[in-house]
């Protein structure tokens, strides 16, 4: 993945992780909105300044409502170029009690012709000017890349003369991240890829203003507290919250949010050198999660390394007891199609055959192998499936749903074929990376199968309403064991109606964690090890309307204790 950053802040970050959304709509008015009493001046840390053209002017009141604890000032004039916004508004605010630690720039739509060099100069002048005035963090909002299916025919005709250069504007903003380490991009382009947000093609209606403001509020509140580049965080996961001090390993869900630039996260037992592999890769326009099984290390802790600036959240789903048959490995790369002399990409009916048993410390007769599968170098949407090469499912079941130009990982426990292999197929061309980090030896109390679909709400037509519990029986019944400690489930959100999160948990409990994070109309999958709850069932809940698919690949019959997921670490809390 290129080191150059792509963009940040896929939507209201807090909403993606824990479901808190704040954004009210009120009549638009100009000026400063503040929680300070009359005559009181907010500290620099509590001042947010926004300079904008007509698009951002539509969020004046909504932004102040989304940030009630801040003094919010919005300046702007419709149809001005970025350099004109600087000279007309920003220069006049220098030295006043309006500029503070955070400034938002929303400009770039209004150019009578597209001059890339001129726009680069305007970016540099704006950021340099704000920095010279004492601003510590500049947040620049990307432009909506207009699509005809999300607007009326009349609006589409209206934007024909100029919409074509919006993607170029965004590309130049992304390039600017290399020049300015204190610049952050708020990715309105990614979030606005849905209908119902504008009056025309770009100007915001109340729903659009609320979403735009909640996106910015999440970034404003969290931009200054991200973990720094190359940070290793020690997280206590044993000896607390039901996990015994002598637990062998924990099942965790790792989430990154507000990453500034592309990077990766590696989780490993504290007290050993950091492995050269990674659990998840992220780009700066992603809030992304992946599950992992991690050995408990020194002081009952796991270490979590992030390569570039980001927030990190760690949720504990359960643990493997000291006497469990599960064996952990130092993460071992089994295959990386990118390193071949002529890299090969896989798609369609040509699966990639990967030897997983008898290599990398995994015994030849292993009952199941814990793998991290990453799809990268893809230029189109698609999905990847993993299965025993001698037991392909009749219909491919997605392990990874991926989007263009983004490395996307997921975890699975796979059953090797008789010859020790698994097959990976991708629906579109992509490179494949497979790492092994543990295994169940022959005779272990575990049942690993070809992935099997338990639930698909698409068959019923309507999406699962937000806030509704979907009850998924996992004990008893056809092809299900009468008793199991937990199931390894692949949970997919398909065609979500908005931005939000999905959590899988034992029925009858309440979880404050998340399993996966979603954006509008984009399929997202993550794996979780979930214990059965009330009635031998697992419950799945989303905070937005979405279709839910649940697939099972493994039944852990003994040696694992599933918990109601609990949050072990959240860097946003400081």
Q: What are the structural domains, with CATH classification, of the chain?
A: 13-222 (3.40.50.1110), 226-315+560-574 (2.60.120), 327-443 (2.60.120), 455-558 (2.60.120)
Distances (CA, A) of 473 to 287, 507, 533: 29, 10, 9
d(CA 385, CA 518): 20
**Cβ-contact 384, 399 below 8 angstroms:** yes
For residues 299 and 500, the model is more confident at: 299
Residues of the chain with pLDDT > 90, as a percent, come to: 55
Quick check: 422 and 374 in contact, CB under 8 A? no
d(CA 526, CA 515): 7
Banded model confidence at residue 25, pLDDT cuts 50, 70, 90? very low
Instruction: Show the tokens assigned to 551.
Output: 């697939």
Q: What is the pLDDT of residue 288?
A: 85
- What are the φ/ψ torsions at residue 341 (nearest 5 degrees)? -55, -40
Contact status, residue 73 vs residue 98, Cβ threshold 8 Å: yes
CA 41-47-53 angle, to 5 degrees, is 125
Find tokens 């002529």 and name the residue: 342
Mean pLDDT of 442-470: 90
How far apart, in whole angstroms, are the C-alpha atoms of residue 389 and residue 386?
9
Which range, of 82-86, 216-220, 474-478, 538-542, averages the lowest pLDDT? 474-478
Q: Considering only CA atoms, which of 310, 305, 321 is closest in space to residue 251? A: 321
Confidence of residue 381 (pLDDT cuts 50, 70, 90): confident
Compute the radius of gyration of the chain from its Cα atoms: 24
Q: Which two tokens stand for residue 494?
A: 């398909």
Give which of 144, 135, 30, 146 is closest to 86, Cα–Cα: 135
CB proximity list for 369: less than 8 A, separation 6 or greater: 356, 357, 362, 413, 414, 416, 422, 436, 438, 439, 440
Task: Give pTM, 2 decimals.
Answer: 0.79
What secondary structure, in 3-state letters, does 231-249 show?
Answer: EEEEEECCCECCECCCCCE
Rounded to the nearest 10°, the torsion over CA 364, 368, 371, 375 is 100
Q: Is 194 a residue whose pLDDT tops 90?
A: no
Q: How is residue 312 written in tokens?
A: 């990190």
């Amino acid at each position: 993945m290129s080191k150059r950053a792509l963009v940040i802040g896929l939507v209201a970050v807090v909403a993606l992780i824990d479901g808190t959304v704040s954004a009210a709509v009120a009549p638009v008015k100009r000026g400063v909105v503040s929680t300070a009493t009359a005559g009181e001046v907010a500290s620099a840390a509590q001042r947010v300044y926004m300079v904008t053209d007509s698009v951002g002017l539509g969020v004046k009141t909504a932004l102040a409502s989304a940030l009630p604890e801040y003094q919010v000032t919005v300046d702007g004039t419709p149809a001005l170029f970025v350099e004109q916004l600087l000279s007309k508004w920003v220069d006049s605010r220098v030295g006043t009690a309006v500029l503070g630690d955070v400034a938002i720039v929303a400009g770039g739509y209004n150019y009578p012709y597209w001059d890339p060099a001129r726009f680069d100069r305007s970016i540099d002048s704006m950021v340099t000017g704000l920095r010279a005035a004492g601003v510590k963090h500049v947040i620049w909002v990307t432009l909506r890349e207009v699509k005809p299916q999300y607007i009326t025919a009349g609006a589409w005709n209206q934007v024909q003369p100029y919409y074509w250069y919006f993607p170029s504007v965004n590309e130049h903003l992304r390039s600017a991240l290399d020049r300015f380490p204190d610049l952050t991009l708020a990715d309105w382009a990614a979030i606005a890829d849905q209908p119902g947000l504008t009056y025309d093609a770009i100007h915001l209606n109340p729903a659009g203003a609320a979403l735009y403001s909640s996106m910015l509020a999440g970034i404003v509140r969290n931009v200054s507290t991200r973990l720094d580049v190359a940070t290793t965080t020690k997280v206590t996961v044993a000896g607390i919250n039901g996990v015994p001090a002598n637990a062998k390993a924990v099942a965790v869900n790792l989430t990154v949010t507000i990453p500034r630039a592309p990077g990766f996260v590696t989780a490993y037992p504290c007290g050993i050198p950091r492995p050269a592999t990674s659990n998840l890769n992220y780009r700066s326009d992603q809030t992304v999660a992946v599950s992992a099984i991690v050995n408990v290390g020194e002081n009952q802790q796991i270490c979590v390394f992030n390569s570039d600036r980001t927030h990190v959240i760690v949720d504990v789903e359960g643990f493997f007891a000291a006497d469990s048959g599960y064996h952990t490995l130092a993460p071992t790369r089994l295959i990386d199609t990118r390193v071949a002399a002529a890299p090969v990409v896989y798609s369609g009916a040509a699966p990639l055959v990967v030897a997983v048993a008898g290599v990398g410390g995994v015994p030849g007769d292993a009952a199941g192998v814990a793998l991290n599968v990453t799809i990268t170098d893809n230029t189109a949407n698609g999905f990847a499936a993993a299965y025993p090469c001698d037991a392909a499912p009749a219909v491919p079941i997605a392990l990874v749903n991926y989007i263009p130009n983004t490395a996307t990982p997921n975890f699975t426990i796979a059953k090797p074929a008789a010859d020790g292999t698994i097959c990976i197929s991708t629906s579109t061309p992509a490179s494949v990376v497979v790492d092994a980090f543990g295994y169940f030896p022959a005779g272990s109390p575990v049942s690993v199968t070809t992935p099997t679909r338990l639930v698909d709400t698409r068959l019923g037509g309507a999406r699962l309403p937000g806030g509704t519990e979907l009850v998924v029986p996992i004990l008893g019944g056809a092809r299900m064991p009468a008793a199991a400690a937990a199931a390894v489930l692949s949970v997919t959100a398909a065609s979500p109606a908005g931005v939000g999160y999905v959590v899988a948990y034992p029925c009858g409990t309440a979880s404050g964690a998340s399993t996966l994070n979603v954006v509008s109309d984009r399929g997202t999958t993550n794996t979780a090890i979930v214990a059965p709850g009330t009635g031998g069932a697992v419950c799945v809940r989303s905070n937005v309307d979405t279709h839910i698919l649940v697939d099972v690949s493994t039944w852990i019959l003994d040696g694992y204790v599933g918990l109601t997921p609990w949050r072990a670490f959240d860097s946003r809390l400081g």
